[in-house]
Structure 1
């Protein structure tokens, strides 16, 4: 089969009529420019979404009643869930009388942190991580990030969770 003037074209050429002489090739330089521009636009879009997402993230949440303030003795703790039923948290009354609350999910591998009555630390039994009760920062073990703090308000003798501070 020849492709001469009087020759019959093969069936595939009839199905795919590409004229190579009219096809526009993309040079390596054009491809490199396209990829560089596309990558720069993607990086800029990702950065702007990250900045705008952090700026417009709601800081507060619904106010949820946890317990009466008198129900927690100094050095004691109480478990609750906030902002949803799938988010375990722990409320602590420090020795000086202050109330603090944190997510009960360890920042290392999501195990539950526990508090022993009278202890000044939160303990993660999975990998022996320790967190300070005053600020939720990691003290020992593999965790590197502090526990998310639950924002609290006291209203007429009751304690309410009102937001999460990551």
Structure 2
């Protein structure tokens, strides 16, 4: 029996086989546990590095960050008759907007990219509403809110002021939900 016990404590062949190298020093530089620790650490570094951008986005969406827009002349009051509209670019040169004269002293301006898929929005004097021809979206000219079609959000309103016989754009109102 001693002979059998002695045989059990010995390796029957030399340990030059790769299956027996897990007990040798420095054979495994990165085992499963080490790999998982590395991945969790990398994910943590990534999460922490995105916090400043998330903070800026939250600040903008919640309205804590105030954007200042330049004052820009759109048109002269005499040049725009009641029921007419004029297209202009505001706040940037690549952002199109639409000014509508709804009454003698009533002007409304909206960014004219549909809130559904950013198609251009046009003023329809005959229908007395803003129309998106891409998917038949319609918006109320008084509020910019959708009245029909797929759009669910109102058009962003451009703030206008009358000064010295001219109409100026002075800012963009935030989205209202």
**What TM-score do you get using the length of structure 2 for normalisation?**
0.68
Equivalent position of 2:169 in the other structure: 161
Residue 90 (structure 1) shift? 0.7
* CA shift in 2, pair 1:87/1:33, >3 Å: closer
* In 2, Cα distance between equivalents of 1:32 and 1:19: 21
Structure number having the greater helix percentage: 2
Structure 2 gap segments, 5+ residues each = 1-13, 17-24
Aligned length: 150
* In 1, Cα distance between equivalents of 2:46 and 2:93: 41
1:84-123 correspondence to structure 2 within 5 Å:
84-95=92-103, 97-117=105-125, 119-123=127-131
Greater length-normalized contact order (CA 8 Å, ≥ 6 residues apart): 1
**What TM-score do you get using the length of structure 1 for normalisation?**
0.72
Residue 46 (structure 1) shift? 5.0
Structure number with bigger Rg: 2
Query: Cα RMSD over matched residues?
Result: 3.1
Deviations 1:43-95 (A, max 9, x none): 7555423224453351x311111111232222221111112332211101114
- Alignment check: 8 A CA contact 1:74 1:97 kept: no
1:56 and 2:65 correspond: yes
